[in-house]
Amino acid sequence: MGQYAAPLRDMQFVLHEVLNVEAELKSMPKHADLDADTINQVLEEAGKFCSEVVFPLNQSGDREGCTYEGDGVVKAPAGFKEAYRQYIDAGWPALGCDPEYGGQGLPAFVNNALYEMLNSANQAWTMYPGLSHGAYECLHAHGTPEQKATYLSKLVSGEWTGTMCLTEPHCGTDLGILRTKAEPNPDGSYALTGTKIFISSGEHDMAENIVHLVLARLPGAPTGTKGISLFIVPKFVPDANGAIGERNGIKCGSIEHKMGIHGNATCVMNLDGAKGWLVGEANKGLNAMFVMMNAARLGVGMQGLGLTEVAYQNSLVYAKERLQMRSLTGPKAPEKAADPIIVHPDVRRMLLTQKAYAEAGRAFTYWAALNIDKELSHEDESVRREAADFVALLTPVIKAFLTDNAFEGTNMAMQIYGGHGFISEWGMEQYVRDARINMIYEGTNSIQALDLLGRKILGDMGAKLKRFGKLVADFVEQEGVKPEMQEFINPLADIGEKVQKLTMEIGMKAMQNPDEVGAAAVPYLRTVGHLVFSYFWARMARVALDRASDSDDAFYKAKLGTARFYFAKLLPETASAIRAARAGAKPMMDFDEALF
């Protein structure tokens, strides 16, 4: 079945030694009294829940999958409902939610850390509460007082779950051509008719009600994305007291048979005059839905991080135990028939790649979550604005870079296991299958790359990127004169300069031919991802150098060794990525379509 243990030591290192979150919280009045001990206790308990309750259901849930029982009824795999009840009873859904609606009011970075562990333990199960939290955030930001009173406490407690219903059979990312209709009813509600597909957690037996957030068009709405409205469409319509009432006209018509995440129900949802209530302004539903979409994109990045971590943990155990051949430099375990495969350079390359990607991804995403807290709660308006820019800029990088890396990392796990990796009972092939969807949904990774380059960077003439670049430049200036940091600072400064030049070059070319953005976007995002990882590896190396001089703790030696591996073996990917981005659109767009 494999194993999973929450990486608490590294989580605490990132939060307390790199990000210094306790001090940061002093400038956020609603979190100012939260201390490191409380944060650590929450993470420790979360780790126990994930490893003891959710992780044991991962393989069995994958083998059994969800069951469509007809007439809109879907059953989750055995044990999922019981685990979800324990999740509710322990108060985990409320962790990062508003106390006004029954939440515990903890910072976003604590909730983020919880979701890393949940995704390592069982991504398919985690999608049920994960989407619910996104629905909570959307309604918290855009719901009417009446909608908040009806739905938020139920979502916060976990009694009700949530979904986002965007995709239709003929349109995915291009929501401007969706066809679902919303006709006004005399009572102020709307009757929604249409079909949505690929709806994760769209139907199940784990909660008593499901709150669907559905995009649809009002009569006479403008064409394109400017004519989209957002509606609450509950499975059961709440009565005057907020309890579940009549069955609504939204039902699951079937579930998809998928490559991975078998334990999560991916549904075709049919709306036949289903009652819905408008969220926010008419024809501005996409703006409201982006709260949930951005939350989902950050959440998918955490899925990538979670899978990278659990794949690494299992790869490491196997590599230390599996005997195969002798070391090229002579036997390392002469008392055994062969050496453990961890002695071989290429196995170490794969292990260190997983480790480097997991640890940098953890620092990056925890920092991003801390910036969400700053955006929402910091007492200084200028800090709030800067934090919002960082989150907006780097959300596509979190979604795409971390999930690309996770697919590479899980494939490496399968490779380390050799033939056993290809066999289901060992669990590695499931991680590969589960990781593959993360590069597709919530906006494919190529869409994230277009968003980063075309909208987030060129769209504001590089203003947001310059803000992040200043963080890098300030750190380079501060540490660049210190001899012990040269091996980390020099490559960081180099990639920072290269990103700046590449951005200007693509921007100039795009003025002449917009296809240049599409041609460069994917390798450009890989390059920016490495800039971000280089920055955080240099910051972690600085802390590790300081601690290692005062301590014999092997943790800091490992951190420095992993940093050196990252800069020597992984950052050089940017040379080919930059070259590919500079190659431009001509080799693709000049190719005659008839010759394909």
pLDDT for residue 490: 98
Does the annotation count 442 as an active-site position?
yes
What is the residue-wise DSSP string for 177-220? G---EEEEPTTS-EEEEEEEEEEET-S-SSSSEEEEEEEEB-TT
pLDDT for residue 134: 92
Residue 1 has pLDDT above 80, yes or no: no
What's the whole-number mean pLDDT along residues 198-224?
97
Helix, strand and coil content of the chain, in percent to the nearest 5, comes to 65, 15, 25
pLDDT for residue 144: 96
For residues 341 and 413, what is the distance between their CA atoms, to the nearest angstrom? 13
Q: CB count, 10 Å around CB of 440?
A: 15
For residues 356 and 38, what is the distance between their CA atoms, to the nearest angstrom? 28
- When pLDDT is cut at 50, 70 and 90, the band that residue 18 belongs to is very high
Q: What rounded mean pLDDT belongs to the chain?
A: 96
pLDDT for residue 552: 79
> What are the tens digits of pLDDT across the range 102-132?
999 999 999 999 999 999 999 999 999 999 9
pLDDT for residue 287: 86
Residues 6+ apart with CB under 8 A from 475: 492, 535, 538, 539
Residue 551 has pLDDT above 80, yes or no: no
> What are the tens digits of pLDDT across the range 54-86?
999 999 999 999 999 999 999 999 999 999 999
What's the whole-number mean pLDDT along residues 519-529?
98
What's the whole-number mean pLDDT along residues 227-239?
97
- When pLDDT is cut at 50, 70 and 90, the band that residue 351 belongs to is very high
Residue 53 has pLDDT above 90, yes or no: yes
For residues 91 and 85, what is the distance between their CA atoms, to the nearest angstrom? 10
HEC assignment per residue over 476-540:
HHHHCCCHHHHHHHHHHHHHHHHHHHHHHHHHHHHHHCCHHHHHHHHHHHHHHHHHHHHHHHHHH
pLDDT for residue 336: 96
pLDDT for residue 291: 83
- When pLDDT is cut at 50, 70 and 90, the band that residue 456 belongs to is very high
Position 495, amino acid: I
- When pLDDT is cut at 50, 70 and 90, the band that residue 293 belongs to is confident
pLDDT for residue 68: 98
Strand partners, 160: 209
Burial class of residue 363 (count of CB atoms within 10 Å of its CB; 0-12, 13-18, 19+)? buried
pLDDT for residue 458: 97
Report which DSSP code applies to 590: T
- How many percent of the chain have pLDDT more than 70? 100
What's the whole-number mean pLDDT along residues 576-587?
97
pLDDT for residue 274: 98
Residue 292 has pLDDT above 90, yes or no: no
What's the whole-number mean pLDDT along residues 271-298?
91
What's the whole-number mean pLDDT along residues 425-436?
97
Residue 466 has pLDDT above 90, yes or no: yes
Contact 301, 391 (CB under 8 A): no
What's the whole-number mean pLDDT along residues 543-550?
90
Position 170, amino acid: H
pLDDT for residue 295: 86
Q: Give the predicted TM-score (pTM) of the model.
A: 0.97
- When pLDDT is cut at 50, 70 and 90, the band that residue 317 belongs to is very high
DSSP strand pairing (160-165 vs 209-216): parallel
What's the whole-number mean pLDDT along residues 19-31?
97
- When pLDDT is cut at 50, 70 and 90, the band that residue 173 belongs to is confident
Residue of 116, 309, 442, 479 marked catalytic: 442
Higher local confidence (pLDDT), 231 or 176: 231
Residue 182 has pLDDT above 80, yes or no: yes
Residue 403 has pLDDT above 90, yes or no: yes
